[in-house]
Structures are given as C-alpha cells and as structure tokens.
Structure 1
C-alpha cells in the first residue's frame, strides 16, 4: 500500500474521486431520500408496489384525509417517484418506474436483514453483489 506522509493513499483518493458523480445527482438523491424519510410517503409507495390506486382508495387504506394524501402524492410526483393517470374525475397513482420498486424492495430487504429476504429482491441483490 502506497501512502503519503499524511497517511493518505493517493491511488485510493484518485479512485474515489473517479467514482464521484456530479453535484446535481447527489442533490437529487438527497431530495429523494428526504421525501422517503416521511413514513406516510413510504406507506403510500408501499401501497403502490403492486397496483395503481386512486387518491380516495389510498386515503381509505391509510386512514388519512384525501387532502393529506394528495399533499404527499404531490411531493412524490415532483420527484418522479409516482406518476398519475386521470380517468374521468378520478386520479390514479402508480410507481413511476421499476427503479422506485427496486429502491423500496432493497430497503425492505436491508431492514429485514437476517430474516428471510423477499424472493422478488433476490435477482436485484445478485446484480448488486456482482457489481461489488
């Protein structure tokens, strides 16, 4: 291991710098995690993992007012975590894409570490392990 006199390994520092992404990407990731730091929003995303739901159905499932659910959905929509589809007077919501589903399932697997993992996460975890 090559070290600088300050204990810094220049090769490792250079490798670390090459792995960095642009500041805007880190900002958007932080905003995404900030939005998902609210347990109500995570519950909404969880409800949408397998099906699309209208605002009224989400409100009934979560026992919240439609207004409260709509405010949370607005934040999730702005960050492209959910998308909407109108059908007459109803607005239906679903996950924006599979990346959101993967994010939630990997997080669930992480917090359940040590218990039986969700079988749908196994292929995702295998890919992540290969990238290491």
Structure 2
C-alpha cells in the first residue's frame, strides 16, 4: 500500500522470532526534498489510544539493518527512499515492558506523521533504531 505523494509507508515487517522486529519505511515522490538522504525519518511509537509511549528513538545500526549514514540523494517523481525502523524486545529483570500498537512516521522532523498499525514489543529497554533514508538499504 502506498501513501499519498510525499507520504511514508510502514513497509514490510521483519525479524520476527529472533528477539528483534522492525519495519521498512518507504517515502515516495519527494522531489522538493533534494537533500532528503541527509535526514532520518521522524518516528514515534504509539499505544492503542494513539498516544506516544516512552521510548528512546536513536539513529544507528540495529540487529536488522546497517545504518548507511546520511548521504545526499535526490528523489524524482515516482522514486522511493527506504529507511529501517527496528526494535529489540530485550527484557531485563525488574523492569516494566513497553509495547505499542502503532508507528507514527514522517519523512523528516517537522513534517506530518502518518500512523500505521504495528505491534511493537519494545521489551524493557524501550529502544527503537532508525537508519538514514537511502535508495537501497545495505544488507
């Protein structure tokens, strides 16, 4: 499913059964953002009432994806940029588990977020890792 031009799609799930999960975000038709690749998506984890849960969102490599780091890319009409959004469900003793029901994702900070269903078991660490936007994500 593709969002409206300039939108973000949560993409496909990944990593189930290995203690980490994630989504691939897709942004399309963003020709006005000629430096889009220098940015990371703006992401929040939301509960069932679509309110933010307390989670740390950090840029960087995760178990599921290598962060290629920022680089200048140009997106023309119809082209797509990709970013990985991943979270480990690590559980530490005597801590409360954090989970979400939705991801709110925007192409970059300050732009409107789209909300997508995504069961997120953040374990007790409540950490989410993001990669930079790229045309293709490294393996």
Structure with max Cα Rg: 1
Q: Which structure has greater helix proportion?
A: 1
Q: With structure 2 as the length reference, what TM-score do the two structures score?
A: 0.21
Higher relative contact order (CA 8 A, sep 6+): 2
Q: With structure 1 as the length reference, what TM-score do the two structures score?
A: 0.22
